[in-house]
Amino acid sequence: MHEMVMALGFVAGALYIASHYLKTMIPLRICEIGSNILFVGYGLMYPSYPTFALYGILIVINSLRLNEMVQTLRKVRTAAAGDLSMEWLKPFMHKHAYKKGDVLFDKGDEADEMFLIVSGRCRVKELNLDLAPGQIVGELGFLNPEHSRTQTVECVEDGDLLTITYDKVRELCLQDPSFGFYLLKLTSNRLLQNIRKLEELAERNSQPAPA
């Protein structure tokens, strides 16, 4: 029995060490939960009740975090295959109120965050393009090598916006590569939208003026 208990402890320790070599969060959490379960068995059989209590608590914490990440991954995959909704991203964002006339950022400013419009409307000044609630703005700066704003965006109505820093976006990309794919799809959609707007402006400008 003593040898079995010691073997259980060594296997649990090996799984715990292995979890630190995993680069993605979901496999890491699964590996840690397996290690926690074995340590609970070790603490109960040794017996070592502090070990039993500690890893019992860690099972609960790791299970909760694993469930959060699985739910987020499902939402990302659903959104990536659908209408580019950003509802799933709200728990990672912070709410701010803006007034009509407030400028979110000017073209050329340093970019360090992006915004989700909850209420009110914003306008891309260079394109005279209105952005409605549910749309995201400022994501192009994340992919810009110079990390600068490509356009000026101002509020044309009072409203609330959610913000998320690029550092948090990078963290989400590292935790789940699917988020990086989703962000690329979102950014591509915005670029295509801007191109269509520029084509419309060029077409209008090329038409002869009425007498």
Distance CA 52, CA 43 (A): 4
The reply to whether 68 and 105 lie within a common domain is no
One domain for residues 96 and 138: yes
Q: Which of 18, 47, 80 is the last residue of a domain?
A: 80
Residue 76 and residue 182 in contact, taking contact as beta carbons nearer than 8 Å: yes
Q: Which range among 101-105, 185-189, 207-211 has the greatest average pLDDT? A: 101-105
Q: Are residues 98 and 201 in the same domain?
A: yes
Nearest Cα neighbor of 48 from 94, 17, 11, 6 is 6
Residue 123 pLDDT: 93
Q: Is residue 211 part of a domain?
A: no
Q: Is the pLDDT of residue 208 over 70?
A: no
The answer to whether residues 23 and 103 belong to one domain is no
CB 20 within 8 A of CB 47: no
**Domain boundary at 23, 55, 80, which?**
80
CATH of the domain at 177: 2.60.120.10
* pLDDT higher than 90, residue 62: yes
Same domain, residue pair 10 and 64 = yes
Question: Reduced to 3 DSSP states, what percent helix, strand and coil does the chain have, rounded to the nearest 5?
Answer: 55, 15, 25
Query: What is the mean pLDDT of the segment spanning 60-74?
Result: 87
Domain interval for residue 56: 2-80
Residue 138 has pLDDT above 80, yes or no: yes
Place of tokens 């609630």: 133
For the chain, give the mean pLDDT: 85
As a whole number, mean pLDDT of residues 34-43 equals 94
Q: Do 61 and 150 have their domain in common?
A: no
The pTM for the full model equals: 0.56
pLDDT of residue 172: 80
Q: Which of 80, 96, 118 is the last residue of a domain?
A: 80
Is the pLDDT score of 39 beyond 70?
yes
Number of domains, the chain: 2
Report the pLDDT value the prediction gives residue 177, as an integer from 0 to 100. 67
- Looking at the predicted structure, is the pLDDT value of residue 57 above 90? yes
Query: DSSP secondary structure string, 174-194?
Result: HH-HHHHHHHHHHHHHHHHHH
Query: Does the pLDDT value for residue 209 go beyond 60?
Result: no
> In the predicted model, what is the mean pLDDT of residues 45-52?
92
Q: Domain check: are 109 and 201 in the same one?
A: yes
| In-domain check, residue 179 | yes
More confident residue, 178 or 108: 108
Q: Which of 38, 47, 44 is nearest to 15 (CA)?
A: 38
Residue 107 has pLDDT above 70, yes or no: yes
Tokens 């939402």 belong to 75
Structure confidence by residue, pLDDT tens digits, 81-95: 555 556 667 888 999
Q: Are 116 and 186 within one domain? A: yes
4, containing H or E segment: helix 2-19
Residue of 176 and 156 predicted with greater confidence: 156
CA distances from 53 to 44, 49, 57, 60, 62 (A): 9, 6, 6, 11, 14
Question: Does residue 95 share a domain with residue 37?
Answer: no
| Res. 159 pLDDT band, cuts 50 70 90 | very high
**Range 65-87 average pLDDT:** 70
In this structure, the answer to whether residues 127 and 36 fall within a common structural domain is: no
* Res 178: pLDDT: 66
Residues 93 and 188 in one domain: yes
What DSSP line would sit under 107-124, residue for residue? Answer: TT-B--EEEEE-SS-EEE
Claim to verify: residue 61 and residue 120 sit in the same structural domain? no
